[in-house]
A and B are shown apart, each in its own frame.
Chain A
Amino acid sequence: DSGVTQTPKHLITATGQRVTLRCSPRSGDLSVYWYQQSLDQGLQFLIQYYNGEERAKGNILERFSAQQFPDLHSELNLSSLELGDSALYFCASSVGRGGSDSDTQYFGPGTRLTVL
């Protein structure tokens, strides 16, 4: 158990809908990262938050947004869902901003999103 929790484990929804994925980092970790795992794209970085502020953005669609709250949990919002958004979404956390020797990312169990 990495200490990173994600809810829900599974999500089935229809095209055009909006969903929210939740992540709680390990105790003491200030950074939260979101990744998408799909068969065709592999594991792709979406976005990083550090202590409530957006720190880095990857290949995140405009239909997707995220935030990190004062208690450091994070939510990833996916809207106007398309079939191609079906994937496994992982959250990871690390203690610092991500650039120090001690910054190892620990991953949650993921949320499997199925868009029908």
Chain B
Amino acid sequence: AQSVAQPEDQVNVAEGNPLTVKCTYSVSGNPYLFWYVQYPNRGLQFLLKYITGDNLVKGSYGFEAEFNKSQTSFHLKKPSALVSDSALYFCAVRGYTGKLIFGQGTTLQVKP
């Protein structure tokens, strides 16, 4: 069965520091991986996706993600965190029919 895991419930980082939100996946075949962000009382916003090609994927708002096949990971990164990046982040893998299978989410807290 396909699945993703986000091992950290919460990540705390100081503004201006680099941030990493971790995601590992389990799929058979080539993975289609996604990151979404959810701000309070808002829907999920698409950040980026990995389909194939370069292992470093660039997305919206300065975020990027690194695909690592040997470690089955797809970590979300940003070189310099902003307070406004504080939100709930979801990693997802696309299932056979196109449905998204989400991790449990990681709350990112960026402190000034």
Contact = CB atoms under 8 A, between A and B. Distances in A.
Contacts of B94: 98-99, 103
Contacts of B100: 33, 35, 43, 45, 92, 105
Contact of A45 (B45, B99, B103, B104): B99
B43 A105 contact: no
A88 to B, nearest CB: 9
Given A43-B90, A98-B94, A101-B51, A106 B99 contact: no
Contact of A55 (B46, B52, B90, B98): B98
Contacts of A42: 102-105
Contacts of A101: 51-52
- Interface size of B as a range: 20 to 34
A106 B46 contact: yes
Interface residues of A, number: 27
Interface in B82-106: 90, 94-105
Nearest to A98: B98
A47 to B, nearest CB: 9
B14 interface: no
Contacts of B96: 99
A103 B96 CA distance: 13
A94 B98 contact: yes
Interface string A99-114: 1010111111110000
Interface of A: 2, 4, 31, 33, 35, 42-43, 45, 48, 55-56, 58, 90, 92, 94, 97-99, 101, 103-110
Given A45-B100, A90-B43, A108-B43, 7 more contacts: A33-B100, A45-B95, A94-B98, A98-B97, A104-B46, A107-B36, A107-B46
Q: List 3 A-B pairs, minimum CB-CB distance, nearest first.
A: A98-B98, A56-B97, A43-B102
5 contacts: A33-B99, A43-B90, A55-B97, A92-B44, A107-B46
